[in-house]
Amino acid sequence: MPNIASSANGLRALESLAAGRTVIHRLHPAAKLFCALAFIVFTASFGRYDFTRLAPYLFYPFLMMALAEIPYGILLKRVLIALPFCLFAGLSNVVIDRETALSIGGAAVSFGVLSLMTILLKMYLCVMAALLLAATTPFAELTAQLRRLHIPAPFVTVFEITYRYIGVLLEELRSMTTAYRLRSGDRKALDVRHMGSFTGGLLLRGFDRAERVHAAMCCRGYSLRRVPPARRGFAPRDAAAAALVCVPAAALRLFPLW
């Protein structure tokens, strides 16, 4: 129960952050989207041992969090969700690639360890860029911008609907879990015997609820193919902000400092 509630709260926390009114929040969504994409492409394009060359990119998340007045802890906690996957991918390198790459204070650092650190740093930077985009741009504005960029409607719709239905599914799961616990005595977890019917019931309920949510959206004019007009035009300050992020990021990639 607390986990379900905290997952739902996590979604709401990002939405609340996105409703801010700082200088970053006020930027055009196209500028923020472009910055995030460019940043991810540049950081992901570094080699497997380029840990030190990636380090200067840390300026972006910290600068953005400071300017957008986003508490560090909220996003850092979410980055940790991706940590096990990257650790799993990088640990095999530590075992296989044991050749010494450098030594720090007499301690040898293998190429495997270096590649693991690079993977972790890349993951941190890429996930932070995506989270910062979500935390500074209301979701509806983001998907509207994707439509204006002529991203195929089915992709945007799947993205949009998935995001909205996660909340719906969590709500159904929370009420079903509460009802289950109240009638299951001291049992703290779902009994294996009930998992099939519970999951099936959850899916059917979620499906039913999702249909009603979609119907309510359609009744108020929601259309899969409509391209919503921009709330305001792309101003010179948006271009300047995008350049402030993209030019240094590109320069650091093309002309590494070391």
Contacting residues toward another protein, per CB under 8 A: 12, 15-16, 18-19, 138-140, 164, 167, 171, 209, 212-213, 215-223, 226, 228-229, 231-232
Closer to another protein at the Cβ: 56 or 138?
A: 138
43 CB burial (10 A radius; 0-12, 13-18, 19+)? buried
Closer to another protein at the Cβ: 16 or 178?
A: 16
**Residue 57: closest CA among 76, 78, 35:** 35
Closer to another protein at the Cβ: 91 or 216?
A: 216
Closer to another protein at the Cβ: 194 or 226?
A: 226
Q: How far is the CB of 222 from another protein (least distance, A)?
A: 5
Q: Quote the tokens at residue 47.
A: 């080699």
Q: How far is the CB of 40 from another protein (least distance, A)?
A: 25
**Cα–Cα distance measured from residue 97 to residue 93, given in angstroms and rounded to the nearest whole number:** 5
Cα 251 to chain centroid distance, Å, stands at 25
Closer to another protein at the Cβ: 115 or 137?
A: 137
Q: How far is the CB of 132 from another protein (least distance, A)?
A: 17
62 CB burial (10 A radius; 0-12, 13-18, 19+)? exposed
99: which DSSP letter? Answer: S
**Cα–Cα distance measured from residue 70 to residue 136, given in angstroms and rounded to the nearest whole number:** 9
Q: Quote the tokens at residue 168.
A: 């719906």
Q: How far is the CB of 183 from another protein (least distance, A)?
A: 23
Q: How far is the CB of 224 from another protein (least distance, A)?
A: 11
Q: How far is the CB of 229 from another protein (least distance, A)?
A: 7
3-state helix, strand, coil in the chain (%, to 5): 75, 5, 25
Closer to another protein at the Cβ: 11 or 55?
A: 11
